[in-house]
Amino acid sequence: MQIPTKYNPKETENKWYQYWMEHGFFKSVPDGREPYTIVIPPPNVTGVLHMGHMLNNTIQDVLIRRARMQGKNACWVPGTDHASIATEAKVVAMLKERGIAKKDLTRAEFLDYAWEWKEKYGGIILEQLKKLGASCDWDRTRFTMDPEMSEGVIDTFIHLYKKGWIYRGVRMVNWDPQGKTAVSDEEVIRKEVNQKLYYISYEVVESESQKDGKTESQKDAATESELSDFRTSQLPDFLTVATTRPETIMADAAICINPNDERYASFIGKKVVIPLINREIPIITDEYVEMEFGTGCLKVTPAHDLNDYNLGLKHHLPVIDILNDDGTLNEKAEILVGKDRFTARKEIAKVLEEAGALEKVEEYKSQIGFSERTDAVIEPKLSMQWFCKMEEMAGPALDCVLNGEVKLIPDKFINTYKYWMENVKDWCISRQLWWGQQIPAWYLPNGQFVVAKTREEALEEVRKLGSREDRKTERPEGWKADSPLSDFPTFGLSDLTQDEDVVDTWFSSWLWPISVFDSQFFSGKNSMGNADLQYYYPTNDLVTAPEILFFWVARMIMAGYEFKHEAPFKNVYLTGIVRDKLGRKMSKSLGNSPDPLDLIEKYGADGVRVGMLFSSPAGNDLMFDESHCEQGRNFANKIWNAFRLVKGWEVDAQLSNPNQTAIAWFQSRFNQALTEIDENFKQYRLSEALITTYKLVWDDFCAWYLEMVKPVYQQPIDASTYKATVGFFENILKIVHPFMPFLTEELWHDELFGERAELDCCIVAQQPKIGEINLKLLNEISTIKEVVSEIRNTRNVKQISPKEALPLAIKSNFEIYYPTYVPILSKLGNLSEVTFIQDKLAGAANFIAGTDEFFIELSNQIDAAAERERIQKELAYLQGFLKSVTSKLSNERFVQNAKAEIVANEQQKKADAEAKIKMLEEGLAGLV
RNA sequence: GGGAGAUUAGCUCAGCUGGUUCAGAGCAUCUGCCUUACAAGCAGAGGGUCACUGGUUCGAACCCAGUAUCUCCCACCA
């Protein structure tokens, strides 16, 4: 036989992928069919494929392929995300390597480099997806920074600004000193880290008002020695605070104690001196301070801690910001200026110790925020940013999930979703970056601003501003009341300065399900949207990781309602996180993630897809194990070899069909499995669907059906069986295709399945319809399988070669009409003859299956002792079983309360057990 | 601190409405097979107090309560 014994994915994958592409099988245009749409969660444009993508996109491809095979107009829209922080960081790093500093470049120059980088590396990940077999409509590939996509982002910004939902203000934000930008709350990842808790002593001094009547000027006039005398005469007191951030003491604005804390009651109203810099700060009281924590004294540093900031607002404390944007100390720190915050921390500890102000240092564990994109430690920072109000948009977005319009799969995420939506905070949308959509705010020389799409339109806005009666804000400098802009010939386009910031990446991705179809939609010119949007929106399923449920999913739903008045999708399938065997999240930095392309190389795309899906129920993390891919590869090989078998058959038209029973059985079994698979898909149990398919193919089709019908070596097969088998095979290819597209397409085109019309491809074959299920036949065959297993087992135990044909005698009550199954039994059990008997066959190996007894006469003597032991063991089990059934049945409450069929069942079990016990006892008596 | 989930064979996991498919699959292990489709395979076997303790029920892996361990999410204890 020329066909190799092993399936070689390398020979088929590229071939068929290209074929599908060339013939436009992935393409979708609106037509009369029902649409089935998925938009890809756009990966980072400069990213590379990781295991999470593999899982994610395998699931999407399975869903989209299945929909396509159900006659729907399947459309999977691919694309990439510009990922502003991550990409900008990469570009900056690249420039640095080339000896170019970002600060030496203009914005335009930098963007040129960035685009160059994007052109070079952008889309690698999409090419990788093709290797996986992703059947995306590549003609629809979008990038979140495509000019028209960006335009949509700007349109929505203006829309929300006009609505009053976007505003600008000074707030405490999460500052990423590495990316030198603000990030949103959701982009801060908290991790527990080992830190040190530094106990620092602050000397207490009398506040001015308490200093024995001396006024401020008197104090100034006092000599250093006088002051010194004063202090020593009072015996210095110290307040000790516990802090994890000693480098920020220079920014301290107060020391705070709990008003109920008796230990410190006498200090209230006094002041302390910050060590090293000797600045005096007040001692204030606030119930916010936990008396139990640390020393019960809190240093208040409004510029560098959110709580302290709030405390500062409450107590009117000054904000002293001692950090630069890059996390180094500035001149306000007075000491350690220019040092990085972490270097400063170490150094100041030393200096404090030398100065005797460091009481002790304790090991301490606490949660610290890290930037999701750069992994830098987040610095709370007070700065002017743009925010988007969330409260109004959160309403409908929450409702649709609660009322089931949008389903979360699994639904355990509803609770977290609800909590988040009910506690949503305004979204910081500005980023101090260049890579992204620049905020369409235009500043006048006096700092006032207008929001408009272009500089020209901005000027128009300014004009309105100048002439509007009901203006609330001040006009540009030099503006005369109510005078039109034309009165100021010198004020022109060039006097407007656009905001330097860009919007958060998610401010573009939240529009994704709309903008991929109609990016012009947000201009408001066509409220219905274009034909694509009308046809494809809302999409069907969104497949993504739970990590970005709030980042992205929630916001897409908000945007869907805000702009399109309808949720963007019906189902959200939340995948698990791919972890390694040790349960660690797979990540590049840990180096514990296999390269997906290597896996594909090793096991074939089909094998890897199956491997990913094998144990990944929605919402459960997946402990990735390469052995699953191996299993997937083996499955491909199994199908391949089943194909080789059938392919090798020669048909003899003269032969009659001896396999009607087997054919009818598999037909039923197939329909039964199909029902289960359908049900599994309906519930998004993809691994279950796969496992059902796997067992159907491997066990039922290969191990049983093919073994039942396959002719003796080099003998021909009858036409009817052949036809049925090829038909089954074709149906199997169909149901396997969504999981293993390449192998199935390859086999689909073999001449075994006859002439294929042009473009008759597995990828667009229609899924088989569910037919009748003959339950009686299924049950009987399952008993027949049991008999076959017993025969094989007997061989195993008695060390008889499978080649040696054995005689089987059946003592049956004919609840099952065995003669029908004699051909199957003979073939699978390798029987020399089958006889029906009335009496037990003494001295023969025997077993019970169903309610019948079976005897195999063996040439060698059976071991009576061993046989007795075996029977006694089985008897003991059955008697125990009978006892429990009997006691159940004699329990009146059971008989009264249980459903009739359950009771009947128990009675059947009892009868069967009794019959079996009788047989065994007779058998035991027969042993000499 | 609040919330969600998990705990079933050595490993990874199913077990959907409480009772016939209920204790299961794959991998791993062991035994025997290079049996003419497949050794990436075939035929078998062993392996479990369903985390623990109670409760509800005629009946519990499944429902309830508590305990333990783990994971995740959220939260400003320096």
pLDDT digits (tens, 9 = 90+) for A684-743: 889 889 999 999 999 999 999 999 999 988 899 999 999 999 999 999 999 999 999 999
User: Where does residue A400 fall: left (phi above 0), alpha (psi -120 to 50 degrees), or beta otherwise?
Assistant: alpha
More confident residue, A286 or A764: A764
Is 50 exceeded by the pLDDT of residue A921?
A: yes
The C-alpha R_g of chain A, in whole angstroms, comes to: 39
Minimal CA–CA distance to A855: which of A787, A778, A758, A761?
A787
The residues facing A37 across adjacent strands are A75
**Contacting residues 585-624/A vs strand B (CB within 7 A):** 585, 615, 617, 620-623
Q: In this predicted structure, what is the pLDDT of residue A663?
A: 95
Residues 543-582 of A with CB under 7 A from strand B: 546-547, 550, 581
What does residue A271 show for φ and ψ, rounded to 5 degrees?
-125, 165
State what percent of residues in chain A have pLDDT above 90. 58
Q: pLDDT at position A802, please?
A: 84
Closest nucleotide over all strands to A676 (CA to C1'):
B16
Confidence band of A147 (pLDDT split at 50, 70, 90): very high
Which residues, at least 6 apart from A321, have a Cβ–Cβ distance to it below 8 Å? A251, A303, A304, A330, A332, A381, A382
* Inter-residue contact A188 to A371 (CB < 8 Å): yes
Q: How many CA atoms lie within 13 A of A566 on its CB side?
A: 16
A636, closest nucleotide (Cα–C1')? B40
pLDDT-based confidence at A585, cuts 50/70/90? Answer: confident
Tens digit of each residue's pLDDT (9 = 90 or more) over A18-33: 999 999 999 999 999 9
pLDDT recorded at residue A46:
86
Residue percentage of chain A with pLDDT more than 70: 92
| Residues 76-135 of A with CB within 7 A of strand B | none
Average pLDDT over residues A143-147: 97
Q: What is the pLDDT of residue A214?
A: 42
**Distance, CA of A296 to C1' of B32, in Å:** 75
Residue A782 Cβ < 7 Å to strand B: no
Mean pLDDT of A105-134: 95
Confidence category of residue A862, pLDDT binned at 50, 70, 90 = low
| Strand B contacted by A710 CB (< 7 A) | yes
Joined tokens for residue A199: 């106990």
pLDDT computed for residue A589 by the predictor = 62
Q: Give the SS3 label for residue A846.
A: strand
Contact A388, A429 (CB under 8 A): yes
pLDDT higher than threshold 80 for residue A927? no
Beta strand A717-718 pairing with A280-285: unpaired
Nearest to A361 by CA among A251, A244, A237: A244
- List Cα–Cα distances, A464 to A342, A475, A482, in angstroms: 50, 11, 10
Specify the pLDDT at position A207: 64
Q: Which pLDDT tens digit goes with each residue over A373-400?
A: 788 899 999 899 999 999 899 999 999 9
3-state per-residue secondary structure call for A666-697: HHHHHHHHHHHHHHHHHCCCHHHHHHHHHHHH
For residue A790, the SS3 value is helix
A825-852: average pLDDT: 88
Q: Point out which residues pair with A651 in neighbouring strands.
A: A717
The residue whose two tokens read 């598999």 is: A666
Selected residue with higher pLDDT from A483 and A5: A5
Q: Which two tokens stand for residue A448?
A: 């006032």
Please say whether the beta carbons of A25 and A61 come within 8 A: no
* Two tokens, residue A55: 């899982």
C-alpha span between A461 and A470 (Å, rounded): 14
Predicted confidence at residue A860, as pLDDT, reads 67
A891 is near strand B: CB distance < 7 Å: yes
- Residue A17: which pLDDT band, with cuts at 50, 70 and 90? very high
**Residue A132 pLDDT class (50, 70, 90 cuts):** very high
**Would you say the C-beta of A654 is within 7 Å of strand B?**
no
Separation in Å: B15 C1' and A631 CA:
22
| Tens digits of residue pLDDT in A46-82 | 888 888 899 999 999 999 999 999 999 999 999 999 9
Query: Of chain A residues 734-773, which have a beta carbon within 7 Å of strand B?
Result: none
* A242 sits within 7 Å of strand B by its CB: yes
Q: Which two tokens stand for residue A465?
A: 């501003």
Q: Report if CB A788 to strand B is under 7 Å.
A: yes
Question: pLDDT tens-digit profile of A464-502?
Answer: 775 544 444 444 555 544 444 544 456 778 889 999 999
Residue A419 confidence (pLDDT): 84
Q: Could you tell me the distance in Å between the CA of residue A640 and the C1' of nucleotide B75? A: 55
Q: What is the rounded average pLDDT of the residues A738-750?
A: 96
Are the beta carbons of A385 and A430 closer than 8 angstroms?
Answer: yes
Closest nucleotide to A896's CA, by C1' atom? B58
Local structure of A919: helix, strand or coil: helix
Mean pLDDT, chain A, integer: 88
**Burial category of A301 from C-beta neighbours within 10 Å (exposed 0-12, middle 13-18, buried 19 and up):** buried
Alpha-carbon gap, residue A467 to A476, rounded angstroms: 12
pLDDT in tens, A201-239: 999 987 655 544 444 444 444 444 444 444 444 556 889
- The residue type of A488 is F
Does the C-beta of A911 come within 7 A of strand B? no
Measure, in angstroms, how far nucleotide B64 C1' is from residue A206 CA.
63
